[in-house]
Chains A and B, each alone.
Chain A
Amino acid sequence: MRWTNYARGGSARNAEQGSAGVPPAVARAPRPRSVGLTASTLILLSTLILSGAAPEKHFTVYSVAANYSLSLVQREGRDYVGLLEVLEPLGKVRSKSDGARWRLRYNNVEGDFEVGKSRARIQGLDTELGGRFLVENKRGLVPVSALSSILPRFLGGPVTLHEDSGRLFIGSVATHFTASLATDNSSRLVFNFTGPVNPTVATEPGKLRMTFSREPVVAPASSTLTFGSKAIQSASYSESNGTAVVTVNSTIPVIASFSNDGRTVTISPSSAAAAAAQNGTPAAAGTPAPSEPPAAANNAGPQVFRRYFAVIDASHGGEDHGETLSASLLEKDVTVALARSLRQELESRGITTLVLRDSDANLSLDQRAIFANADHAAIYVALHAASNGHGVRVYTALLPFGDDDRGPFRSWTLAQHGSLPLSRSTASAVAAELQKRQIPVRTLGASLRPLNNLTGAAIAVEVAPQGSELSQLTAPDYQQLITSAVATAIAATHDQLGAAP
């Protein structure tokens, strides 16, 4: 009898499975017609079997070490799971089988299992399995329900098993949440989570569904939450097949936005719904935005619903510090200050402005582009700060020559292609305005995401001190000098930008 070691990640398992089922060498080559017939039959049978197969059941384990998902198998009318697969990501596991006996060692704890028996000895104590122990391909299978009694013995700590939904929580890892309507706007629903989350968001008429596959999100006190809002009426929690799902029921189309390092999810009306609400036309949940607004019925071209004319992006944030300008000054902090100043300058000129990052949150580059594109903002301005050089650099996207778009689809990496001339003219206007204020300025192309992913006019402004004093970057008068020039240029090109689809 020999112990078999299993490293984290289960390479040993793959190796074992890979060696099984190798067909013996064929002594005589079959005739081509019969090969074709056999292949066709096999393909047909496989298709029929697969199409009729039950969906695979999943089991998700959440722990401090790792969150991972496993497949369940149906044996003897129960859900079974491989005990090795459950323990492998958590520590050092070894197993050995000897006839009907199967022994498992996790760290220093040893378990003794016997095929066909519903009891096992773990750490010298008898443990009820609630079903027969099985071995397949040297892998020990136990009923899922047995994990709540087996694992505390091996791990030396408590576990919480949600057997029906296939979710197992090892230790205190659960992420809780609250949901309430925003105090300033009753059509916004704010979810606050105790840990960062990144759910898959899907919408359908009257519903927005957030699916948590990897996050240990657990139910609130009540699985159905109701709100006193006509737009967002209720939210419900459910879990199944190794995932948790939060469904928001609304009467208008809604979108989800993330902030606070992924700990806050805000459900708000989409720009189309907001526009419809402003026009006094109630929009049905999930219905597309009206194609023709009352005032512009005769206008040719698609109607663009935008909540904000300008989207200001304070670059970096969270763990992405950007440039460390000095021991106490980070680029991410300077960009937020510049963004707030620019918003003030734009709003004082009557331009509706959204600041994408107004806190120390971390947004991915894709998220930034998605937010700006979803709003159809007329102008997107990314703000950067640098210690290198003097004055201001205004960038537009550096795109490859030629057009890689395929048919009606627009390539994500070349989304800026159609708006690049407008971006360049805006950059020139900003540069001219900065020059008027005696600020050294250059306009350049840059391979700087997410500029190339934006469908509307997009520029990036990198601010460096005029001299060698880095403290100038945090000086309100210097910041205002620059942001007022940028805002003046945007206001001057307002009609040109606004006319763009």
Chain B
Amino acid sequence: MIPRHLLIAMAVLLVAVLGLTFYALRMRRTAAATPLASTDTRPLAPPISGPTERITLFVAHDDDGSLRAQSALIPLPSGRQQRTEELLRALVSLYLDKSSPHVLGSGADVRSVFLVDPGVAIIDLNSAFADTHRSGVLVEELTVASLIHTISANTPGILKVKILVDGKERETLAGHADLSAFYDVTAINQLASQLQSAQ
């Protein structure tokens, strides 16, 4: 005959096993239900300190293939380079909204902007920006024109812009818009006025 204390120990262990199994299954279900946002590995930017300023963003509209000026109030740091970065981040965050007139893929971001004298700006986009971008001549051109014209309108003195993806040169944005060369700001401004006249 099995001693009573052994029976009690067995029962306790059985209860513990069942309890842990239930707990593990519950944990697994919770992990599966965790929203995709948790996979966004972009580093958190420090909060921007600076006075709120009114800026003009040139927003692409896919419905009529136009570029429209839109003013916004955003806090801007004092440094010229940081200001340009924040400008573009404000523009990109607008495009990340699902109801945006020109939606960008989830996770799209501007990694950094470098202003190199004389008059050269280098925009470094993250890979999600290019990898999830919709393909097409016009849709890619609208993105490029929107980024460059927004910089040009708010940061005087920029003459040429180079777009990198993850710090590297890339042939095209999503199969069409050429990223291998420098963009001439005057040519883009002329294109932007063509795109604005489409409204």
Contact = CB atoms under 8 A, between A and B. Distances in A.
Interface of A: 316, 320, 322-324, 331, 365, 384, 386-389, 393, 395, 398-401, 413, 442, 444-449, 452, 460, 462
A323 B175 contact: yes
A442 B65 contact: yes
A321 B141 CA distance: 19
A283 to B, nearest CB: 37
A388 B61 CA distance: 11
A323 B134 contact: yes
Contacts of B176: 384, 448
Contacts of B137: 384, 386, 393, 395, 446, 448, 460, 462
Contacts of B198: 442
B195 interface: yes
Contacts of B175: 316, 320, 322-323
Task: Please classify the interface of chain B as helix (H, G, I), strand (E, B), loop, or mixed, using the class held by over half of its residues.
Answer: mixed
Interface in B123-142: 134-139, 141
10 contacts: A331-B135, A365-B171, A389-B65, A389-B138, A393-B137, A393-B138, A398-B191, A399-B187, A449-B180, A460-B137
Interface of B: 62, 65, 134-139, 141, 144, 160, 171-172, 175-178, 180-184, 186-188, 190-191, 194-195, 198
Contacts of A386: 136-139
Contacts of A323: 134-136, 175
Contacts of B181: 413, 447
Given A320-B175, A388-B134, A449-B180, A444 B139 contact: no
Contact of B177 (A316, A324, A413, A447): A447
A212 B176 CA distance: 31
Contacts of A395: 137
B136 A446 contact: no
A164 B56 CA distance: 69
Contacts of B184: 399-401
A182 to B, nearest CB: 33
Nearest to A400: B184
Nearest to A331: B135
A388 B139 contact: yes
Given A386-B137, A389-B62, A462-B137, A444 B187 contact: no
A189 B173 CA distance: 38
Q: Of A387, A395, A413, A446, which is in contact with the most chain B CB atoms at under 10 Å from its CB? A: A446
Contacts of A447: 141, 144, 177-178, 181, 183
Contact of B136 (A387, A398, A400): A387
Q: Which 8 A-B pairs have the closest CB atoms?
A: A400-B184, A323-B135, A386-B136, A447-B178, A462-B137, A388-B139, A401-B186, A449-B178
A446 B187 contact: no
Contacts of A316: 175
Given A388-B65, A388-B136, A444-B138, 10 more contacts: A398-B191, A399-B184, A400-B186, A401-B184, A444-B194, A445-B191, A447-B181, A447-B183, A448-B178, A462-B138
A448 B177 contact: yes
Contacts of A445: 187, 190-191, 194
Nearest to A323: B135
Contacts of A365: 171
A320 B176 CA distance: 11
A323 B188 CA distance: 24
Given A388-B138, A395-B137, A462-B137, A444 B191 contact: yes
Q: Of A386, A388, A442, A448, which is in contact with the most chain B CB atoms at under 10 Å from its CB? A: A388
A451 to B, nearest CB: 9
Contacts of B138: 386, 388-389, 393, 444, 462
A25 to B, nearest CB: 38
B89 to A, nearest CB: 23
A446 B190 CA distance: 11
Contacts of B188: 398
A395 B137 CA distance: 9
A384 B172 CA distance: 15
A387 to B, nearest CB: 7
A441 to B, nearest CB: 12
Given A323-B134, A446-B141, A447-B144, A400 B191 contact: no
A322 B195 CA distance: 23
A388 B188 CA distance: 21
Nearest to A398: B187
A446 B195 CA distance: 11
